[in-house]
Amino acid sequence: MATAEVTVMGGGIFGLAVAFACARRGARVILCERDRIGAGTSGGLVGALAPHVPEQWNAKKAFQLDSLLMAGAFWEEVRAVSGVDPGYARSGRWQPLADAEAVARAQERAAGAETLWRGRAAWRVVAAPSDGWAPASPTGLLVEDTLSARLHPRDAGRALAAAVRALGGVVEEARAEPPAGAIGEQGSPGAVVWATGLAGLAALSADLGRTVGSGVKGQAALFACAAGDRPQLFADGLHVVPHHDGTVAVGSTAERDFAAPDTTDDRLEVLIDRARALCPALAEAPVIERWAGVRPRAKSLAPMLGPWPGREGHFIANGGFKIGFGMAPKVAEVMADLVLDGRDGVPEGFRVEDSL
């Protein structure tokens, strides 16, 4: 096997997106996944690409905005190269407003969005329609944003893997170590990008002697309900996301303490009941899948990007947590710039050192 210029370890959303970004620039790429594509939390159900509120602006919010604005072109290219539909649609989001104070705060944020979102998307207060999908709102009003999008997590993973292969890359499942000669052999210019999720956070913590992140469990459910490109719903931490395959995903819990990482329990049943109460269309829709997994959360609360300290030619792309799918296009661009061209566009708060 020829030595790869870039070896990506991990077949989750960050690993796949980085591999695609490098391959489309002409690099020889090998992606190694210790289990199967999407085996971790990137193979979940929800796929909400939702922005932070347009206020108290910082580097993390600016990075996320860039990524969400890139997403349409990014996922269309993935679809065109792979022939697989990743289920992307910028279909927006509705949030009910509980009282006059919430309405006033939403209107202030609408003014902020006009400036901070650079005229590329809107955050506005609208009347709640009576259409069987919109949530009940005590004020009769909703926040509508036109930046939120949805993506089918499993189809997106399949599409990226197929796109990497279509560009001449190699995707190997059931492989936990880089191939021999992936870096450093006979002056090879190769690099290794570690995008190995929760296991990667543990390995990095052990290597650096400091905890750089941890896992947070989430539980989600999938309903059989054809809602097309209706806006996703969000209320009190609950996401309701229609997908292109006639399903609606609901999630998710955020559990720091848990006994079993991949089993569902009564907390998910509470979430399902809340979703039925929030969205009229789900009141009688059957639940066809229940899912649980532990998401990698960096100590900095931002994705962790950049060189692995003390390991020449090794890089980290980890800590997507709840926003990994939304951040993936920009993460892929920044990591390809760094690994292939030596251009360091990692923003403040995103470096490995920021989680120490």
Return the pLDDT at 180: 74
Return the pLDDT at 179: 80
Strand ranges of the sheet holding 6-9, from the earlier edge strand across to the other edge: 170-173, 29-33, 6-9, 191-194, 314-318, 304-307
Return the pLDDT at 238: 96
48-83 pLDDT per residue, tens = 999 999 999 999 999 999 999 999 999 999 999 999
CATH class given for the domain over 6-85+152-213+299-355:
alpha beta
Residue 181 binned pLDDT confidence (cut-offs 50, 70, 90): low
| pTM, full prediction | 0.95
CB 20 within 8 A of CB 78: yes
CB 135 within 8 A of CB 231: no
- Give the DSSP letter string of 208-254: HTS--EEEEEEEEEEEE---TTPPEEEETTEEEEE-TTSEEEEE---
Q: Which two tokens stand for residue 85?
A: 């539909």
Q: Of 344, 335, 339, nearest to 312 (Cα)?
A: 339
Q: Quote the percentage of the chain above a pLDDT of 90.
A: 93
SS (H, E, C) 173-198: ECCCCCCCCCCCHHHCCCEEEECCHH
Instruction: Please give the backbone phi and psi of residue 186, each rounded to the nearest 5 degrees, phi first.
Output: 50, 45
Instruction: Please give the backbone phi and psi of residue 295, each rounded to the nearest 5 degrees, phi first.
Output: -90, 145
Region 212-236 average pLDDT: 97
CB 68 within 8 A of CB 51: yes
Does the pLDDT value for residue 186 go beyond 60? Answer: no
238-254 pLDDT per residue, tens = 999 999 999 999 998 99
Return the pLDDT at 188: 53
Region 16-44 average pLDDT: 96
Region 273-280 average pLDDT: 96
Residue 183 binned pLDDT confidence (cut-offs 50, 70, 90): low
Q: Which two tokens stand for residue 32?
A: 């190694």
Round to whole Å and give the CA distance between 255 and 297.
12
* Domain residue ranges in the chain: 6-85+152-213+299-355, 93-146
Round to whole Å and give the CA distance between 337 and 314.
14
Region 136-161 average pLDDT: 98
Round to whole Å and give the CA distance between 85 and 67.
19
Q: Of 153, 282, 171, nearest to 218 (Cα)?
A: 153
| Mean pLDDT taken over the chain | 94
Return the pLDDT at 4: 65
Region 5-34 average pLDDT: 96
Q: Which segments within the chain are labelled E, that is strand?
A: 6-9, 29-33, 48-49, 93-96, 123-127, 141-145, 149-150, 170-173, 191-194, 213-224, 232-235, 238-242, 247-251, 287-298, 304-307, 314-318
Judged on CB neighbours under 10 Å (0-12, 13-18, 19+), 139 is middle
Return the pLDDT at 189: 57
Q: Which amino acid makes up residue 88?
A: Y
CB 200 within 8 A of CB 61: no
Return the pLDDT at 169: 96
Round to whole Å and give the CA distance between 39 and 97.
37
DSSP-assigned beta bridge partners for residue 296:
215
Q: Of 49, 47, 252, nearest to 147 (Cα)?
A: 49
Return the pLDDT at 29: 96
